[in-house]
Chains A and B, each alone.
Chain A
Amino acid sequence: MLGFLGSRLLQSVLVLIVASVITFTLAFLLPADPARMVAGPSASVATVNSIRHELGLDRPFLSQYTSYLNRLVHLDLGRSYKQSSEVSALMASRIWPTVQLMLGAIALELLIGLPLGIWAALNRGRWPDTLVMGLAFLGAAAPQFWLALSLVYLLAYRFALFPLGGYGGLNHLFLPALTLGIGGAGWYARMMRSQLLEVLGQDYIRTARAKGQTPALVLLKHALRNATLPIVTMIGLDIGTFMGGVVVVESVFGWPGLGRLVWDAIRVVDIPIIVGVVIFSAFAITLANLLADFVQPFVDPRVRYR
């Protein structure tokens, strides 16, 4: 077990190091001049050059990268070009809203997706099955930004049930979380359905039924437990994706999370923020996948660390 943990951990660290190299290289190669961005369009060439020197942008690539990496392991992501504060401080203030959105989105995905998947599996080949699978296809095909705008129009403008946007309590959280939840629910419904269909065909379910257990008990005690494993993996993937900044939903709803931060940074080419968020996202995705791997044996005792 320790061997498995160790090798997965090592693998993840390697992935992150390479990811940081790629991110940094891309940022280095981009045809944008950060010194000019900082100085503003009317600054003289001399000013731009002195700023370039101050930011260390005139040093060779390798020297810039090693000093970046050195600061990175000390959790120092540098300073924003446009806002006079540390990138890590800017990001820290945005993490909690993004976590809230992630929790809301995953809760809604599960609440919508799993019951629909179970309903479809129990009615295989009949109309509920067709309906749920149709909805799942629609959910996967609907563009997120369009879903967001439609929900705003319908639930916030037409029926005025929720605020149009902005940050606040649960009623502010609901629409952005629902946008993400509808998109993901289809995948959960499909996964739940196919898992359940596989499990329901097995001998021990027939035995449980033959013993005279009620269908509800068979489902809850025997079938669902064995169908949850891939769901846990999917939740892990979702945590990573949602922590990686949901740019579209956060900008449509004006939700002040990491996605909004990076979107604002992209528009003014504030590279330290972009690089910081990309690396943080890669970190979150890797960590979430790692977590999903580690949790699996607790959910399903048949799985052992290899």
Chain B
Amino acid sequence: MTTVVLAPVARKRRNRSLTRFLRNPAAILGLVVCVLIVLTALLAPWVAPHDPDFQFPEGLTMEGAPLPPGGAYLLGTDLLGRDLFSRIVWGARASLTVGFVANGVAVLLGVLIGALGALTRGWVGTLIMRFTDVMLAFPVLLLAIALTAILKPSLWIVALVIALINWVPIARVVYSEVAALREREFVEAANAVGASGGRILRRHILPHLVPTALVWGSLGVSTTVLLEATLSFLGVGVQPPTPSWGGIINESQSYLTTAPWLVLAPGTAILLTSLGFNLLGEGLRDALDPRGGL
């Protein structure tokens, strides 16, 4: 009975959100950029013209300097004579793997902990939220750097550390949303007819959190990619020889004045990825909830 009545309404709202999203040029731009980058990462072996790790004997000048863009190598070569474009294409894999894994775990943790904090009134909820207060007092980047450095950096350690840091703001957003939801009539009604806590969470609370999870699922990838790039730039992120955008810039820092493309090109890749997921996330937020956000 209820589903029959509610389904058309829900569908109509979804259509309206979709229309709003499609009419927002910034959101479409974000979506296109994201799709292109994800495809690049997935199809890296076919997109990259060369082996990213192969050191071409003719990839360096007579003096041993990297080759500038143009010519046989689209974006030039790096300090070891490897094809820069191929390394950037493969670097998309490392960035997006960390981006999606770390952010996925963070969203999952954030939604679960935030919802749990709001639903269990009393001291458990208070304790959870006070814990997020403490987490917000920590210097996030410093903590990430120290932990990854000392735990022996690797792609998965980086993802784990970022996830353990990034769930906090998500949990706080979800907490305030669930705190408002639990006072609504339909939750009261479900309670009154004797639905269990788990059923209320699954059927009546979690569906309302889908927009939040979607928005953070996209916005969070942007911050995660930036954080991963920063860690790799400092040398405590994804380790060479695995190509990563931050790592390429780290290796090439001392060539800044003689071969600036080695810093410019991977930096642009980071910027585009971060921008794409940012625009997509903001677009989703505007489409799903026109009131929220700045």
Query: B40 near A: Cβ within 8 Å?
Result: no
Tell me which residues across on chain A come within 8 A of B21, comparing CB atoms. Answer: none
Distance between Cα atoms of A31 and B133 in the complex (Å)? 27
Chain B residues with CB under 8 Å of A278's CB are: 138-139, 142-143, 146
The segment out of B10-18, B99-107, B116-124, B270-278 that lies at the interface is: B270-278
CA distance A56 to B133 in the complex (A): 32
A141–B150 contact, CB under 8 A?
A: no
Q: How large is the interface on A (under 10, 10 to 19, 20 to 34, 35 or more residues)?
A: 35 or more
- Residues of the B chain whose Cβ atoms lie less than 8 Å from the Cβ of A16: 137
Q: With A and B bound together, what is the CA distance between A8 and B217 in angstroms?
A: 33
A144 CA to B233 CA, complexed, in Å: 10
Name the B residues within 8 Å of A282 (CB-CB): 137-139
Contacts A31-B150, A149-B263, A244-B142: A285 and B137 contacting too (C-beta < 8 A)?
A: yes
Return the CB mask of B1-38 against A: 1 if under 8 Å, else 0.
Answer: 00000000000000000000000001000000000000
With A137-B275, A248-B234, A266-B149 as contacts: A153 and B263 at CB distance below 8 Å: yes
Given the interface contacts A19-B137, A157-B256, A269-B150, does A150 sit within 8 Å of B264 by beta carbon?
yes
Residue of B nearest to A187 (CB): B294
Q: Select from chain B the residue with minimum beta-carbon distance to A246.
A: B141
Kindly identify which residue among B26, B133, B139, B143 contacts A15, using a CB–CB cutoff of 8 Å.
B133
A211 within 8 A of B: no
Contact A19 B226, CB 8 Å, known A141-B275, A247-B142:
no
Decide: A145 and B230 in contact? CB cutoff 8 A. Answer: yes
Q: Chain A residues with Cβ under 8 A from B137's Cβ?
A: 15-16, 19, 282, 285-286
**Complex Cα–Cα for A16 and B136 (A):** 11
The answer, yes or no, to whether A32 is at the interface (CB within 8 Å) is yes
> With an 8 A cutoff between CB atoms, is B128 at the interface?
no
Please measure, in the bound complex, the distance between the C-alpha atom of A149 and the C-alpha atom of B271, giving whole angstroms.
Answer: 14
The yes or no answer to A101 lying at the interface (CB within 8 A) is no
Q: A285: nearest residue on chain B (CB-CB)?
A: B137
Q: Please report the C-alpha to C-alpha distance between residue A3 and residue B267 in the assembled complex, in whole angstroms.
A: 50
Q: Are A31 and B151 in contact (CB under 8 A)?
A: yes
Minimum Cβ distance to chain A for residue B225 (Å)? 9
CB of A141 within 8 A of CB of B256, answer: no
Return B274 CB to nearest CB of chain A, in Å: 4
Chain B residues with CB below 8 A from A22, complex form: 134, 138
Q: Which residue of the partner chain A has the closest CB to B149?
A: A266
Specify which chain B residues have a CB less than 8 angstroms from the CB of A267 in the assembled complex: 149
Q: Specify which of A142, A152, A263 is in contact with B145 (CB 8 Å cutoff).
A: A263
Chain B 203-241 against A: per-residue CB contact (8 Å), 1 yes, 0 no?
Answer: 000000000000000000010001001100110100000
Q: How far is the CB of B276 from chain A (nearest CB, A)?
A: 8
Cβ contacts under 8 Å, A30 to chain B = 150-151
* Pairwise interchain contact B263-A146, C-beta atoms closer than 8 A: yes
A141 in contact with B278 (CB, 8 Å)? yes
Could you list 18 A-B pairs, sorted by A, with CB under 8 Å? Answer: A15-B130, A19-B137, A22-B134, A31-B150, A137-B26, A142-B274, A145-B234, A145-B246, A149-B249, A150-B264, A194-B294, A244-B139, A247-B141, A251-B234, A266-B149, A278-B142, A278-B146, A285-B137
Residue positions of A touching B, CB distance < 8 A: 11, 14-16, 18-19, 22, 26, 30-32, 137-138, 140-146, 149-150, 152-153, 157, 190-191, 194, 241, 244-245, 247-248, 251, 259, 262-263, 266-267, 269, 274, 277-278, 281-282, 285-286
B interface residue numbers (CB < 8 A to A): 26, 130-131, 133-134, 136-139, 141-143, 145-147, 149-151, 222, 226, 229-230, 233-234, 236, 246, 249, 253, 256-257, 260, 263-264, 267, 270-271, 274-275, 278-279, 294
With A141-B275, A251-B234, A278-B142 known, 7 other A-B pairs at CB within 8 A are A137-B279, A141-B278, A145-B233, A149-B249, A244-B139, A247-B234, A281-B142
